[in-house]
Amino acid sequence: MGFPKILFRIVENRSCPLYQYGDVFELSGIAVPLSSENENSFITTTIVKFPLDRKVCKILDGDLGKIVIQYERADKIPVCMISCSGCTGSVKLEHSKDEHLLKNGGGTLSEELGSMMHLLSSFSFFKNIDEKHLETVISYFKINKYKPGDIVIRKGDPGGRFFIIVSGSVNVLNDAGIVISTLDRGEVFGEMSLICNDCVNATIQVKEASTILHINQPNFQKILDIYPAIQLYFSRLMAERLIKSNRIRAEDLSSGMTGNLAEIPAEALFQTLNMNSKTGILTITDLTRGTARFSFRQGSLIKAKYGEHVGDLAFYQILKEKSGRFRFTPGIAPEDFSTPEIGFFMKLLMEGMRRMDEGKNQKSN
């Protein structure tokens, strides 16, 4: 005599070393009579089917087995939620009569928000947000689930969305469709197209079944205005990204590189100087308003002049330029070592991108 299969799904993960949020465990088994004389007395043998490619946890196996013993028969277990005994971490599992819900994890963020809070709070993006504000920030995101092989974004598509991998993994593909890197749980993508208001520069394909959060530019700007600590996260993230992709360019800049804004956009040029803590003067010529000059001290913008504009207004104006010759010359005047910086670089950049978006919207209207 056996009992029907039932499912438990992880709905909260507190640093479990073996399993992820959303993993499903299948319970099945047989009821064996204690003796041939008394067929009404039996003992239930429980079989726990663990997720594919996951190790078997003896602690969790025992915890699930105890649930069956408690209710005598697995098919009598009511809708419930249990916690494992834990080792270095722990998980909370949910049993529901709705197998579709268990296998697919529901369809909206609001249904899953409470169970995801602890998991998301461990991600780098959310670490600088107070716990009392975390739910508010997460509410601006939407959630999607993807199957292996799905394309999340494709190179050349319009940008404007930022993604966070909750579970699973994705591959980053080059123009030839070759995998150049893999992103896992807690990692992000799409930030460059969002911040720089540019097209997507790489294709993202799902490697293993994934749950991914995403936020659009208007909502991203809202949380950025409310929680400026996020600016620090993006400053570090973009620095890491640009260090990898612009290492040769940065070396050239340190010795006095010349180039054209048609080849490297103004925002990328400024970010390269900022992230590498460069000290020197950037001169840009052949512009619509004449010549622009920007002074950097250890990556901080301390002087800016373009046409009739100075300071942050000059910075915002130069971001609109699509062509022009530039030269970076190392070194600044001694007195400029005490000149205050114009503003926090990431905040200047985000404000510049916002103004550009407003200008485009006004033209389209």
> Which of 178, 198, 227 is at the close of a domain?
227
How many whole angstroms separate alpha carbon 306 and alpha carbon 318?
Answer: 7
Contact status, residue 295 vs residue 281, Cβ threshold 8 Å: yes
Domain extent, residue 310, equals 246-364
* Residue 32 backbone dihedrals phi, psi, to 5 degrees: -100, 130
What's the confidence (pLDDT) of residue 108? 44
Based on the fold, state whether residues 222 and 255 are members of the same structural domain: no
Based on the fold, state whether residues 357 and 272 are members of the same structural domain: yes
**Does residue 238 fall inside a structural domain?**
no
> Which of 106, 138, 173 is at the close of a domain?
106
Based on the fold, state whether residues 126 and 100 are members of the same structural domain: no
How many whole angstroms separate alpha carbon 253 and alpha carbon 46?
Answer: 66
How many whole angstroms separate alpha carbon 203 and alpha carbon 211?
Answer: 17
Based on the fold, state whether residues 310 and 331 are members of the same structural domain: yes
Based on the fold, state whether residues 252 and 360 are members of the same structural domain: yes
How many whole angstroms separate alpha carbon 180 and alpha carbon 173?
Answer: 6
How many whole angstroms separate alpha carbon 184 and alpha carbon 171?
Answer: 9
Based on the fold, state whether residues 254 and 348 are members of the same structural domain: yes
**Does residue 237 fall inside a structural domain?**
no
Based on the fold, state whether residues 137 and 88 are members of the same structural domain: no
- 3 state DSSP class of 184: coil
Based on the fold, state whether residues 215 and 299 are members of the same structural domain: no
Q: Which two tokens stand for residue 39?
A: 């067929």
Which CATH number is 204's domain given?
A: 2.60.120.10
**Does residue 84 fall inside a structural domain?**
yes
What's the confidence (pLDDT) of residue 103? 45
Number of domains in the chain: 3
> Which of 73, 106, 139 is at the close of a domain?
106
Tell me how far apart the 2 most distant CA atoms of the chain are, in Å: 102
Based on the fold, state whether residues 85 and 121 are members of the same structural domain: no
Based on the fold, state whether residues 75 and 155 are members of the same structural domain: no
Based on the fold, state whether residues 333 and 261 are members of the same structural domain: yes
What's the confidence (pLDDT) of residue 284? 96
How many whole angstroms separate alpha carbon 143 and alpha carbon 196?
Answer: 23
**Does residue 194 fall inside a structural domain?**
yes
Whether the full predicted model's pTM is greater than 0.75, yes or no, is no
pLDDT by residue for the chain (365 residues), tens only, comes to 445 677 887 766 676 778 876 778 887 765 555 555 555 555 556 677 888 777 888 888 888 877 766 665 555 666 666 777 777 777 777 775 545 444 444 444 444 555 566 667 667 777 777 777 777 788 788 888 898 889 999 888 887 888 989 888 999 987 767 788 889 888 888 877 777 777 888 899 999 988 888 888 888 888 877 777 777 777 777 666 666 555 545 555 555 677 888 878 898 889 888 887 888 999 999 998 999 999 999 889 999 999 999 999 999 999 999 899 999 888 888 888 899 999 888 889 889 888 887 776 666 66
**Does residue 240 fall inside a structural domain?**
no
**Does residue 297 fall inside a structural domain?**
yes
DSSP string, 135-161: HHHHTT-EEEEE-TT-EEE-TTS---E
User: What is the chain's length?
Assistant: 365
DSSP assignment, residue 123? S
Give the Cβ contact number of residue 260 at 10 Å.
Answer: 12
What's the confidence (pLDDT) of residue 101? 41
Q: Which residues contact 322 (CB under 8 A, 6 or more apart)?
A: 261, 262, 265
Based on the fold, state whether residues 22 and 87 are members of the same structural domain: yes
| Beta pairing class for 188-189 and 325-330 | unpaired
Q: Which two tokens stand for residue 342?
A: 């114009």
**Does residue 235 fall inside a structural domain?**
no
Run of H or E including 63: helix 58-71
What's the confidence (pLDDT) of residue 315? 96
**Does residue 111 fall inside a structural domain?**
no
* Residue 298 backbone dihedrals phi, psi, to 5 degrees: 50, 40
| Beta pairing class for 161-173 and 151-153 | unpaired
